Amino acid sequence: MAAGSWTFYNDFKEHLAKADVDMNGDSFKAVLCTSGYTPSAAHSTLSDLTNLCADSDYSPFTLTNNAVTETGGTVTFDTDDINYGSSVSITAKYAVIYDDTHASDALMCYVDLDTGGGSVSSTNSTFQITINASGVWTLSG
């Protein structure tokens, strides 16, 4: 699987600038969308997402060990790998992270799980998204 880079939703950048989200204290979740979803930077809330994956052994994943750090002027948001379980049967094209604490479930960012044009799937096996060693995203001047 050749996953792409995480892409911010436009409104989330504004939420960061206005401190409408607490990167250290809010609860963030990741959901999966099928290839029927067309990402748009203009999407802003969980209700804007279409074609969410649905299966009896799948549910949104709560991100764990979230950390915001600053080194040399670069701020990084990092989290543990996203693991939907070891016996999941699912097919997905996109993963989306959103702020579950925010009143509107503000969308943070999304990633194309297969930049080769396809989707990724598991059949009664592990479905995990490995977070880059450099974190989910960085901000620098």
Examine residue 1 and state whether it is found in any structural domain, yes or no: no
pLDDT recorded at residue 68: 95
pLDDT recorded at residue 26: 96
Instruction: Kindly indicate the confidence band of residue 30, based on its pLDDT and cuts at 50, 70 and 90.
Output: very high
What is the SS3 assignment for 99? Answer: strand
Instruction: Tell me the mean pLDDT in the region 89-107.
Output: 95
Rounded Cα distance between 12 and 89, Å, is 31
pLDDT recorded at residue 79: 95
Radius of gyration of the chain (CA): 15
Task: Write down the H helix ranges in 8-132.
Answer: 10-17
Round the average pLDDT of the chain to a whole number and report it: 92
Instruction: Tell me the mean pLDDT in the region 55-69.
Output: 91
Examine residue 37 and state whether it is found in any structural domain, yes or no: yes
Whether the model pTM is above 0.85: yes
Examine residue 29 and state whether it is found in any structural domain, yes or no: yes
Examine residue 2 and state whether it is found in any structural domain, yes or no: no
Q: Which domain range does residue 41 map to?
A: 7-139
Residue 59, amino acid: S
Examine residue 85 and state whether it is found in any structural domain, yes or no: yes
Number of domains comprising the chain: 1
Examine residue 120 and state whether it is found in any structural domain, yes or no: yes
